[in-house]
């Protein structure tokens, strides 16, 4: 598995990590066989569109990092959101890899 090469563009790096996590989760879910991934694909598509529209998917001039270079508060908020998304995607991937047995509620005797 390849690592994201760190640049001076923290938002672009975070976007790339999330994008990689989406792809990895997709592969785990796809391995389950005939399940519908249309909603997952929709969300991944929306994420990609947001990245393209906002400039989060690139570095340099016109990137989200460039646009927000003088606004560290907003940069920090977006970085935290992307970090949380990446964390959640990785948790989902781990749970999908290692599903726990179903939990059954105990029967209440009346």
Residue 9 pLDDT > 60? yes
Query: Which residues fall within 8 angstroms of residue 82, CB to CB, at 6 or more apart?
Result: 11, 14, 15, 17, 18, 56
| pLDDT tens, residue by residue, 32-68 | 777 789 999 999 999 999 999 999 999 999 999 999 9
Tokens 């949380």 correspond to 84
Q: State the pLDDT at residue 7.
A: 56
């Amino acid at each position: 598995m390849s690592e994201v090469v760190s640049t001076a563009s923290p938002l672009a790096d975070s976007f790339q990590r999330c994008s990689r996590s989406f792809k990895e989760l997709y592969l785990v879910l796809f391995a389950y066989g005939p399940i519908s991934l249309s909603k997952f694909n929709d969300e991944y598509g929306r994420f990609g569109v947001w990245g393209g529209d906002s400039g989060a998917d690139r570095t340099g001039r016109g990137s989200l990092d460039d646009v927000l270079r003088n606004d560290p508060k907003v940069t920090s908020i977006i970085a935290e959101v992307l970090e949380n998304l990446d964390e959640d995607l990785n948790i989902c991937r781990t749970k999908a890899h290692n599903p726990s047995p179903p939990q059954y509620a105990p029967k209440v005797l009346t």
